[in-house]
Amino acid sequence: MEKALQEQVSAFRDFVKKMANYDSAISCLGWDARTGMPKNGVADRAEVIGTLATEHFKMGTSHQMEAFLNELSVPETFQKLDEITQGIVKECKKEFDRNNKIPADRFQQYVVLTSNAEAAWEEAREKSDFQSFQPYLEKIVETNREFIEKYWGYEENKYDTLLNFYEPGLTVAKLDQIFGDLREKSVQLLQKITASGNQPNTSFLTENYSIDDQRTFSKFILEEMGYSFYSCRLDETVHPFASAFNPGDVRVTTRYNSHDVREALFGSIHEGGHALYEQNVSLDLVGTPLCSGTSMGIHESQSRYWENMIGRSRMFWEKYYDDLINQFPDQLGHVALEDFYRAINAVQPSLIRVEADELTYNLHIMIRYEIEKGLINGDIEVADLPKVWNSKYEEYLGVTPPNDGEGVLQDVHWSGGMFGYFPSYSLGNIYAAQFANKIRQDLPEYEDYIRNGDLSKIKEWAKENIYQYGKLLSPNEILLQVTGEELNSSYLVDYLETKFKAVYKL
């Protein structure tokens, strides 16, 4: 690389490093605000975060950034760059285009709209009053359509543009097919499960479980997973989350319910899966926008893999059930492993997405996907949402919400304009099943590793194949490199059928 270019690259890398530092500070202040900041500090903290976020946004959309991108994107220059700098150029260009295509005043209006909409949604949900939220949602949908049609553009389907913000490369055409197969098989399986005479007893899971003991056990399991407490923390919040500032500092939160041992146990394993990903991104990517999971879907594949495919597997509890009994002898001492295993895998069609089991969860997501796609393409009107919502719940899950608070108003996402995000949750399950199939091929002693509590072997495989790359590879590149196959739901269908036929003795 000639000297002038070297200097140019180094100036660019310093520039993005500064942006990454702002980002890290914003995350840290956000974590602090959600985990225990005094209430009276809220207003000032929002302003501090706002100031830093504005600086970060300005840098990413600045003339300086434009100049860097223009120079470094010239093909003969680009090919001389190292792989990481190439990745940073691509990532910054994507963000630059997304944010700069919209006129500043329209963007500003939209930010105000969504912030008002969130407050309106909160009140509407509490009162189960969809009509009070309807005008906000109509404007949000309208604005998204306008942004797509006038500024962001689209090829085949308007909704593709939104999907791509969260899952680069994904299209409605692909997703319709993948979700279509999964839906049909899931509904069939669910009908058999509901009709089965072999329903597991779950009553012992909701006895009184001391929160101190739950805390001890959550920490123990996270350590077993390879979650390093030198690089992390475990705290408590109402809405659990994982937050990463750099691979050396990744924090998770959980929520303890003294009358349901499942919540913190599987919640901690889930967030721990997100955290393992972030802790094991290559240190070469620190200080760049590539130092994070590659997409929402791949991130969710890791949390759901650890939570469901390991944490809710029989082999996992063959190793850890004795430890759990030692922690809770009165509640579980009389419960056989098989009964415990069946109980933590109980399937129950329900109204609320966040409380759904492993099988029905995807149906909740598909309902939201179909509605979003319809709204953005003008096939569904906002005014009809409660009706559409309720009829889909009846059709897929056999349940009807008694009111809109437990129905169409239950999720915060739409009030913030987050269309295109929901599919990531189910994509996570789909990717996870594809990866799990490959791990079994690569590690012939896979089941024994889990039975023996040798989970580091699993973590190392995931680090090698997925975690280390951060955003350097796109979701589809990772999937192809690891499995040699395109995204498809057949592995998830097989996994669900095998597992639940055994649990329900079908």
> Interface with Zn ion by CB under 5 A: which residues?
303
Judged by beta carbon, residue 77 or residue 237, the one nearer Zn ion is 237
Is 123 known to be catalytic? Answer: no
Contact 265, 216 (CB under 8 A): no
Q: Which is nearer to Zn ion, 137 or 492 (CB)?
A: 492
Which one from 271, 300, 307, 358 is the annotated catalytic residue?
271
Segment holding 252, helix H or strand E = strand 249-254
Query: For Zn ion, which residue has the nearest CB?
Result: 303
CB of 253 to Zn ion, least distance (A): 12
| Minimum CB distance to Zn ion, residue 431 (Å) | 13
The H or E element containing residue 243 is: strand 242-246
Q: Which of 12, 109, 112, 22 is nearest to 68 (CA)?
A: 12
Residue (of 199, 204, 200) closest to 333 by Cα position = 204
Selection from 306, 305, 317 nearest residue 342 by Cα: 317
Closest distance to Zn ion from the beta carbon of 315 (Å): 23
Question: Which residue, 270 or 373, is less far from Zn ion as judged by CB?
Answer: 270
CB of residue 373 vs Zn ion: minimum separation in angstroms?
A: 22
Q: Pairing between strand 249-254 and 232-236?
A: parallel
Rounded to the nearest whole angstrom, what is the least distance from the CB of residue 405 to Zn ion in the complex?
Answer: 24
Nearer to Zn ion by Cβ, of 114 and 303: the residue is 303
Residue number, 158 or 304, with CB nearest to Zn ion: 304
CB atoms within 10 A of CB 339: 14
Contact 281, 234 (CB under 8 A): no
Q: Distance (Å, rounded) from C-alpha 402 to C-alpha 200?
A: 26
Looking at 239-381, list the stretches that DSSP marks H as alpha helix, in order from N- to C-terminal side: 261-279, 296-304, 314-327, 329-332, 337-344, 361-376
Distances (CA, A) of 250 to 280, 296, 385: 10, 17, 39
Active-site residue set: 271
